[in-house]
Structure 1
Amino acid sequence: MLSFEEKLAIIETFPQLERKNVSLGRVNFHYDESAHDKKIVVFHLHPGGNGFVYAGLLRGYETDERGFVNIRESSAEELRALIDDSIRSLSIKVPEAPQPKSRRKQAAAGARDGMASMWSGPDGQSLELRREDDLWYVYAGLNLEMVFETSDEAEEYLNEEGFKPA
């Protein structure tokens, strides 16, 4: 198994990825030129060596329900190939079929209309998604958690963190 430092060194060889430090020493890498709403290529690379790479648009990879591949046991070659494939898949926009409006979309629609929507987490936490001044704010009580440019980015973050509309 590659160490955190070895994985980080490989990931940082991709100049199109932007490093974003997140909680608990974890690191995300975003691909800002993505043709999709999805911008996270490397998700929660942890100092213990675990982490995930987005492969939701790829065939031939075993992904979780969010489209991520666990890279804990990946070799250097496998990691490079997966990241390269992920970036390539996010570079091309393929039209998607319209999907029915889910409860999540309905909650977000309420926030889009200027109302706030509440989201519940796996450990009973609550976050509020609120639109203010053309940005999307995620609050934990009175504390600002994150800010996003689009509702899709905010919803993606909330879903990746295990939150669902309350």
Structure 2
Amino acid sequence: MLSLEEKLAIVESFPELQRKDVSLGRINFHYEESSYDKKIVVYHLHPNGNGFVYADYVKGYATDSKGFINIRDFNGDELRTIIQKSILSLTDPSSKAQPKMDSPKEERWTDEDGHVLSVTFSEDLWYVYAGSNLDCAFETYEEVEEYMSEEGFAKQ
């Protein structure tokens, strides 16, 4: 589990989010450019590392009745990804104020025989290609890593 300081460093790397300190040492982060009434992206980030991210409009995540997911056990990549997806889900596609994306455009993975697979992220899915042929698609990066490991591939 990431510490509060590690989570804060990730969340604060998104310049489009504004920090709002709330009661009991908890911290919220608002996306003021939201195209919806909903503006809170990170909710009640607590000194013990617990917290929530708004994901009601994000596919592939189970949310509570208010549209939030618990991020207590998220690693750095998972946290960065869900925050990016949350911001994008609150952004009108026709708006010029699009959030920055830190996800790589393409990753190359190789096996010991020199075979190369490429991994790209597009429209909420991770795609694995062998040359120009689609090999498979995954909802999370963790699934990509597990698949690649099982198949004997390592990231370059």
Q: TM-score, normalised by structure 1?
A: 0.55
- Matches of 1:78 and 1:71, distance apart in 2: 9
Equivalent residue number for residue 89 of structure 1: 89
> What displacement does 1:62 show?
1.3
Identity rate, percent? 65
- Matches of 1:92 and 1:69, distance apart in 2: 22
Equivalent residue number for residue 33 of structure 1: 33
Equivalent residue number for residue 162 of structure 1: none
> What displacement does 1:92 show?
2.1
* Structure 1 stretches of at least 4 aligned residues deviating more than 2 Å after TM superposition: none
- Matches of 2:69 and 2:3, distance apart in 1: 17
> What displacement does 1:28 show?
0.1
Equivalent residue number for residue 4 of structure 1: 4
SS at match of 2:29: strand
RMSD: 0.8
Equivalent residue number for residue 51 of structure 2: 51
Equivalent residue number for residue 97 of structure 1: none
- Matches of 1:62 and 1:6, distance apart in 2: 24
Structure 1 residues 64-111: Cα deviation after superposition (integer angstroms, max 9, x where no partner): 010001000000000000000000000027xxxxxxxxxxxxxxxxxx
Q: TM-score, normalised by structure 2?
A: 0.59
Equivalent residue number for residue 136 of structure 2: none
1:60 correspondence with 2:60: yes
Q: Structure 2 regions of 5+ residues with no counterpart?
A: 94-156
Higher share of residues assigned helix = 1
Kindly provide the amino acid, as one letter, of the partner of residue 10 in structure 1. Answer: I
Kindly provide the amino acid, as one letter, of the partner of residue 22 in structure 1. Answer: V
Equivalent residue number for residue 131 of structure 1: none
Q: Structure 1 regions of 5+ residues with no counterpart?
A: 94-166
How many positions carry a matched residue from both structures?
A: 93
